[in-house]
Structure 1
Amino acid sequence: MADATELNRLFWHSRRGMLELDVLLVPFVKEVYSTLDAEDQARYRKLLECEDQDMFGWFMQRDEPEDADLRRIVRMILDRVQPK
C-alpha cells in the first residue's frame, strides 16, 4: 500500500507538463495507483522514468514500449479511459 508521502511524490512526477500525458497519468495515480499490487506499482514508477515523447507515442498508440512491463502499465492506463 502506498503511503501519503509516496502518493504525493508520484502525483507531482505524474504531472508532465504535456496535457495529453497529464490527463492520463494524474487521475491514474490519484484513483488507481494505491489499488495496484506491488509489481504494477513498480511498473508505474518505471513508466515515470521514461521520456515524455516516448510516453506520448505509446498513449497515442503510435508505438508501443519494447519492455513488457511498460507495455502492461501503458495498456492498463489506456484500458481505463477507452470505451469498451
Structure 2
Amino acid sequence: MEKNRLYWASRRGMLELDLVLQPFLDNHYDDLPQSDKELFWALLESEDQDMFSWFIDKVDPADPNILKIVKIIRAHTGLQPGD
C-alpha cells in the first residue's frame, strides 16, 4: 500500500490513536519487513474502539497476527503493558 494512503488510513476518529499511529508510521514503518507492513495494513482495518483498547487500555487482541503488530507498535511508542 502506498504511503500516502497509509497516512489517511492512520488518521482515525480518536486523537489518542492518531498520536500512536502517525508517529509510528513516520518513524518506524519504513524499517519493517514486508510481512509486518502487511500486518499494519490489517491493523488499520480494525475498529477504533478495539485499537484504543489495545494501545491505551493495553488489552491484547485475540488474533495473534494483530497482536504481533500491536506489540511492535507498543515497543516503538513507549506503550508497553505495565507502563
Taking structure 1 as the reference length, the TM-score comes to: 0.86
**Is 1:49 equivalent to 2:50 in the alignment?**
no
Determine the C-alpha separation between the residues in 2 that align with 1:51 and 1:83: 19
Matched with 1:26 is 22
Q: 1:54 to 1:45 in 2, by over 3 A?
A: same
CA RMSD of aligned residues (A): 1.8
Point out where structure 1 has 5 or more consecutive residues left out of the alignment: none
1:1-84 matches, within 5 Å, as 6-82=2-78
Determine the C-alpha separation between the residues in 2 that align with 1:24 and 1:72: 16
Taking structure 2 as the reference length, the TM-score comes to: 0.87
Calculate percent identity across the aligned residue pairs: 45
1:62 Cα shift? 4.3
| Structure 1 moving runs of 4+ over 4 Å | none
1:74 Cα shift? 0.6
